[in-house]
Amino acid sequence: MGADHPDSGFHPQPTGLAAQTARAHSAPQSLKLYSGWFCPFVQRTWILLEEKHIQYQYIEVNPYHKSESLLKLNPRGLVPTLQYDDKPLYESSVVCEFLEEAYPMHTPRLMPEDPYERARARIWMGFVTSRVLPSFHRFLQHQGQEGMDEKREEFLGYIKEFIREADGEGPFWAGGEFGLVDIIMAPWAIRLWVFDHFKGGLGIPGKGEGGEDEGVWERWRKWLGAVEERKSVKETMSEREYYLPIYQRYAEDKAQSELAKATRAGRGVP
């Protein structure tokens, strides 16, 4: 189990709807997803596989006791790692784009057909990974009240920037259809409750309380509501209580994941 690792006291398997999804994909398949149930980077890939109804085998990985089969594919031992035709692929955004291209007969299409719109989607997917995610963790891992408001405002500013670039009607980022930009952002958006639980509140204004930004926050609420209700999102989420001890270690700035260490050192997503 790797019980000597300070982060190892987590639930070993997905629960709730995610457990049902994992069980439904336990049979051997040529396409294998090496997964950690709690990992938001994994959830990106998992959502996409479910959306496109691609056959895959779900393999749960203990990140503190990595299997030889995983380390042979990915020497860093990080998840998600995909095994495709006995060849490895990793980095969640790369894996998602690969699956979109490698299974063209599987719908829905999650990237725009138009080259300009596809490039624009990549810009905002990159924005999520390079701006939103590090800011999420700077806010979550910040200790003490001094500087907390600054971290909160930085994070909310990135959320506003993201949603201002979304289609005006939605409900999804690019309009009426769920797409890869939504998938890249979704796992962190549906975990925003951690700030209410551990950091005294996220600070997004309630309905009618957004002042000059009310239109922006109304659009955000519409987007988030649609994402939270998406079948593929709900069916790749475990029960909230099992995330709590994991995020408590982040909130106390004691987590030893690669992302937590990178945040602590002032670096971006590793």
Q: Which one of 18, 22, 33, 39 is the catalytic residue? A: 39
Sign of CA dihedral 58, 255, 234, 230: negative
Q: Which two tokens stand for residue 219?
A: 């659009």
User: Does residue 96 carry a catalytic annotation?
Assistant: no
Task: Give the residue among 203, 204, 193, 195 at the shortest CA–CA distance from 228.
Answer: 193
Q: Is 184 exposed, middle or buried (0-12, 13-18, 19+ CB in 10 A)?
A: buried
Sign of CA dihedral 103, 106, 111, 113: positive
Give 82's contacts (C-beta < 8 A, 6+ positions apart): 31, 32, 33, 34, 45, 88, 89, 90, 95, 98, 99
3-state DSSP percent of the chain in helix, strand and coil, to 5: 50, 5, 40
Cβ–Cβ contacts within 10 Å for residue 61, how many? 22
Residue 104: DSSP 8-state: T
Please calculate the CA angle 243-232-260 and round it to the nearest 5 degrees.
35
Q: Taking each helix axis as running N to C, give the angle between helix 180-189 and helix 115-127, from 0 to 180 degrees, rounded to the nearest 10.
A: 20
Which residues are annotated as catalytic? Answer: 39
